[in-house]
Structure 1
Amino acid sequence: MIAAAPNTAGTTAVARLAAFAAAFRAAPAQPALDDARQRLLDTIGISVPALGTGPAAIVHELARTWGGHAQSTALGLAERVPAPTAALVNGTLGHALDFDDTHVPSILHPSASVVPAALAAAEACGASGRELLAAIAVGNEICIRLGNAGYDPAINNSVFFERGLHATSICGALGSAAAAATVMGLPEEQIAHAMGIAASMGAGLLEANRAGGSVKRMHCGWAAHSGVVAAQSAAAGLTGPPTVLEGRFGFFHAYCGETYDEAALLDGLGEEWATGDCFVKPYPINVFTHSGIDAALALRAKGLRPEQIESVEIGVPSPVLRTIAQPREAKIRPESGYHAQFSGPFTFAIAFGGGGGLGVYLDDFTDERVADPVLQDLAARITHVADPRCDEIFPRHFPSIVRVRLKDGSELVENVLTTRGTSERPLSDEEIMLKFRLNAAGLPGGADELGRRIADVASYDDVSGLLAGTTAS
């Protein structure tokens, strides 16, 4: 897909990643640029409805309090802010609704940190649209490969996830640094330093998925912020360790212990793109619940109604139980609409009454909706169990095997073994554009003008005006 990379035999892992980034920037491949444009469209689209969330108000207030040089656009703010601040705001918005793209088997959401970091840095340095897209492609690929390198087939799961670490924010900091350094035009050595610096900045715990709290919504924002700061620091002369990834006290040993799949990180770099396995989410909820949603929608389409149901047992992969089924009381009675997005029982219950062109949409997850006693009653009749067949499929997909016992004593079974939005069940271009239009409909000028600008972004000599019309008056 790109010109032959330089001979990197014997060089460190971060040096090889930097060589890839620099080579792609010099000779970008059109398919990867097209993919990056789709990621840009999706990430900006899902950020618009997130403007109404509590975390958005918090990061906006932080941005106003911090002040600083007017460099980059933060969605929802009239004034420009420093590039790291814009990355924080936009990254928080991109992940706030859990509607961002998802990669398996790394189980991370690359674009919500990489796109905001690349865009903020591009605006600050006056980069072109093609340079922006190249940086997004590079950052997403590096982020995903870092996540893949932490996957352990012996446990059939990501080691990051097993340890309660949010690979999205940890790997996202390095991917964001690579993207920012690439779009800033830094030489190969400084791209490596940017990633080496960002490795000391990435962080994120997943306990909020289980027990509540809103901090997870800021994870991608902080990763994007860290990436831009790391790239700017590298440009100013700060350096990172050359063995930052594979070293004794490096990234993988610190986060994953003895697990480090060098082949997943480096083999085929620049020729085989892991980004192709990163799918656009059809539903604004935790991806582990999506197959359950699909099953509920299918059962509803067949005429099943909540009042007919005695109980529902949903078989899922063992590792996902901790996220969507435990602790049970918090899942059958979530404290807010946001927390319902991580509940297997509640998302299944909502799907029976959901609507909209996507099947289940943001307006299904309001605080008022999750307080509905009818939904709470149905959620209490739903249990999740580990299923051996689902374990065999995980983590390439997040399947559900649904058994519904009816009040008349009969039973219905609905199997959803592949995840919608993946290469096996891709969303159509029309569905992706529908998602964008629904999300961006609240803009003063509607979604169409912004959609046209993003479609034409490769022709821009300077991307500074790309987000015009998305800020407050």
Structure 2
Amino acid sequence: MAPTTRAGGLPMNRNLSERFTQFLSDLRYQDLPASTVEYTKLLVLDYFASAAAGYKVNQATNRALQSVFGAMQGAEQSPVLFDSRRYPAEHAAFLNAAYTHGADMDDGHRVLGGHPGGPVISAALAAASTAGTLTGEELILAIVCGYEAMIRIGAAIQPGHLERGFHSTGTTGTIGAAVAACKLRGVSEDTLFRAFSLATVQASGLMSVTESGQSAKPLNSARAAYTGMLCAALAQAGVAAPVNPLESPKGFFHAFGGESLRPEAITDALGQRFEINGCYIKPYPTCRATHPGAEAALILREQIPDLRQIREIRLFIYPRAIFIAGDKANHVPQEAEQCKFSIAYALACVLHHANIRVDEDIIRFTPQRAQEVLEICRKVQLIPDPSTEDVLAGKRGCRVEIDLQDGRTLRQTIILPKGDPEVPMSFDDVRAKLAACADGLMTPQAQDRLYQAVTSLERQKPYQDLVAEINRT
């Protein structure tokens, strides 16, 4: 007799972990809506733009990683961005994910509270380079499945997960990376389950990385990609794994969740709503918590002909934003790494020159060069306002009030900043982002070839290695 089923076609007589991994194992490219395919390609293009920015911005950490991994011996399997060498697949996933999160410009998801692209796409690209002949459709499917695993599990444990100090990019990213790698290796449902389970055991990542600016934060994304790849390989080799990885009293939910635990988030509209469509894309090279204030500043600056007339700026924003990017030590940055985690600096840059530029405002930042911007930072007061956030509704905004010397007070409310799925960036927008981020790394002709390869990804039979394509230039 066939097992009793519930919404999403999942058997009732299996635990949640088994039912979820069965769905992921059974999912096929033909099940994906056209809108999901298109948005996945957009995020892949954004991945490469973000990686180029991270490669340039986080140079000290990148040099250290290149030195450490370059000295290791191993199979020459997978390409690494902007590098002529090949590395073991797990190492390639680590390095590419580190670059992608290096400028904090990579995609994210509001409910997850993390960045899926770094761990998931890095693992998928590395797995694809060792999986033999594939199609672009298979790569797209693997990425969608990795995002689905990472975001749904993250939604089940947030916001308590973040409140306890965990970084979901590292924790749930390990699971998403394992799933993506498994899909490209064509493993059985049982093997995918064991990789998923092993990834829950290996998951890690703390938000304390933000206390070092951006230097250490990419390691959570990188380690998630690496460990997810490793879990997929171990499962394929026959390693046993816990049978109740999410639900056990010793399992993932108990360790990483809190009072806000919502296991139902895993099966809510499963197969009907694909979570990758809910990801945002960043127009600025700073933490997403800084973007609502920056967008408000972009609107208000048109009403301030002389910035010296600003007397005080009050920025009302959700407490989680202040927790992540409102540290007093970063409020008036003194080092480049602090700039990406300063709500005040992002707002001040946009008030001053209508943008936050990778090269000028981050890489070449010094307090001397940014004197006028930092003077604006000193006038910014951050005020916690829980009403500017509704996690379940996807609302994450702010309210800005600027007092001027002439007695006027300018006000602007942002509900959703540009790049959120409700206010999306287009392919043209992301192509422009790639041009800005990859300047000096890729010629315009190389950027055009990458753009054509990504936008035609579902038609590639066989799949053309996108990382190798970049390095060919």
**Same fold, judged at TM 0.5 (above):** yes
Distance 1:471 1:62 in 2: 21
Q: CA deviation at 1:278?
A: 0.9
TM-score by length of 1: 0.91
User: Any conservation in 2 of the 1:55–1:214 contact (CA below 8 Å)?
Assistant: yes
Question: What residue in structure 2 maps to residue 381 of structure 1?
Answer: 379
User: Any conservation in 1 of the 2:157–2:258 contact (CA below 8 Å)?
Assistant: no
Q: CA deviation at 1:440?
A: 3.2
Question: What residue in structure 2 maps to residue 163 of structure 1?
Answer: 164
Q: CA deviation at 1:469?
A: 4.6
The amino acid that maps onto 2:186 is G
Q: Output aligned runs, 1:344-363, within 5 Å.
A: 344-355=343-354, 359-363=355-359
More divergent stretch after superposition (365-374 vs 198-207) = 365-374
CA deviation string 1:301-359 (max 9, x = no partner): 23343211111111011222222222x2x12332422321110111111112335xxx4
Q: Output aligned runs, 1:282-293, within 5 Å.
A: 282-293=283-294
User: Any conservation in 2 of the 1:75–1:90 contact (CA below 8 Å)?
Assistant: yes
Relative to structure 1, is the Cα distance of residues 129 and 142 closer, same or farther in structure 2, using a 3 angstrom cutoff?
same
Distance 1:313 1:148 in 2: 31
Q: Residue 144 of structure 1: which of 151, 157, 170 is its match?
A: 151
Distance 2:86 2:31 in 1: 30
Give the secondary-structure state (helix, strand or coil) at the position aligned to 1:360: coil
Question: What residue in structure 2 maps to residue 365 of structure 1?
Answer: 362
Question: What residue in structure 1 maps to residue 91 of structure 2?
Answer: 85
Question: What residue in structure 2 maps to residue 155 of structure 1?
Answer: none
Relative to structure 1, is the Cα distance of residues 306 and 67 closer, same or farther in structure 2, using a 3 angstrom cutoff?
farther
Distance 1:159 1:398 in 2: 17
Q: Residue 402 of structure 1: which of 379, 400, 403 is its match?
A: 400
Q: CA deviation at 1:367?
A: 4.4
Question: What residue in structure 1 maps to residue 461 of structure 2?
Answer: 461
User: Any conservation in 2 of the 1:97–1:285 contact (CA below 8 Å)?
Assistant: yes
Question: Is structure 2 residue 95 aligned with structure 1 residue 96?
Answer: no
CA deviation string 1:82-129 (max 9, x = no partner): 110010011111111111111112211111110000110011112322
Give the secondary-structure state (helix, strand or coil) at the position aligned to 2:201: coil
Question: What residue in structure 2 maps to residue 231 of structure 1?
Answer: 232
Q: Residue 11 of structure 1: which of 11, 14, 31 is its match?
A: 14
Q: CA deviation at 1:385?
A: 0.5
Relative to structure 1, is the Cα distance of residues 303 and 310 closer, same or farther in structure 2, using a 3 angstrom cutoff?
closer
User: Any conservation in 2 of the 1:173–1:202 contact (CA below 8 Å)?
Assistant: yes
User: Any conservation in 2 of the 1:317–1:394 contact (CA below 8 Å)?
Assistant: no
Q: CA deviation at 1:258?
A: 4.8
Q: Residue 416 of structure 1: which of 399, 414, 417 is its match?
A: 414
Distance 2:88 2:52 in 1: 20
Gaps of 5+ in 1: 152-157
Relative to structure 1, is the Cα distance of residues 460 and 67 closer, same or farther in structure 2, using a 3 angstrom cutoff?
farther
Q: CA deviation at 1:196?
A: 0.7
Distance 1:218 1:195 in 2: 21
Question: What residue in structure 1 maps to residue 4 of structure 2?
Answer: none
Question: What residue in structure 1 maps to residue 3 of structure 2?
Answer: none
Q: CA deviation at 1:397?
A: 2.5
User: Any conservation in 2 of the 1:35–1:137 contact (CA below 8 Å)?
Assistant: no
User: Any conservation in 2 of the 1:74–1:90 contact (CA below 8 Å)?
Assistant: yes
TM superposition outliers: structure 1 runs of 4+ over 4 Å? 4-7, 391-395
Relative to structure 1, is the Cα distance of residues 340 and 395 closer, same or farther in structure 2, using a 3 angstrom cutoff?
farther
The amino acid that maps onto 1:354 is H
Question: Is structure 2 residue 341 aligned with structure 1 residue 338?
Answer: no
More divergent stretch after superposition (409-418 vs 95-104) = 409-418
Distance 1:258 1:310 in 2: 42
Distance 2:94 2:214 in 1: 18
TM-score by length of 2: 0.91
Relative to structure 1, is the Cα distance of residues 138 and 349 closer, same or farther in structure 2, using a 3 angstrom cutoff?
same
Give the secondary-structure state (helix, strand or coil) at the position aligned to 2:435: helix
Question: Is structure 2 residue 246 aligned with structure 1 residue 250?
Answer: no
Distance 2:112 2:29 in 1: 28
More divergent stretch after superposition (398-407 vs 415-424) = 415-424
User: Any conservation in 1 of the 2:77–2:87 contact (CA below 8 Å)?
Assistant: yes
More divergent stretch after superposition (30-39 vs 281-290) = 30-39
Give the secondary-structure state (helix, strand or coil) at the position aligned to 1:351: helix
Question: What residue in structure 2 maps to residue 299 of structure 1?
Answer: 300
Relative to structure 1, is the Cα distance of residues 331 and 237 closer, same or farther in structure 2, using a 3 angstrom cutoff?
same
Q: CA deviation at 1:150?
A: 0.9
Q: CA deviation at 1:450?
A: 1.2
Question: Is structure 2 residue 35 aligned with structure 1 residue 36?
Answer: no
Gaps of 5+ in 2: 1-6
The amino acid that maps onto 2:459 is S
More divergent stretch after superposition (206-215 vs 137-146) = 206-215
Aligned residues: 459
Question: What residue in structure 1 maps to residue 193 of structure 2?
Answer: 192
User: Any conservation in 1 of the 2:136–2:462 contact (CA below 8 Å)?
Assistant: yes
The amino acid that maps onto 1:382 is V
| Percent of matched pairs sharing the same residue | 26
Q: What root-mean-square deviation, in Å, do the aligned CA atoms of Structure 1 and Structure 2 show?
A: 2.2
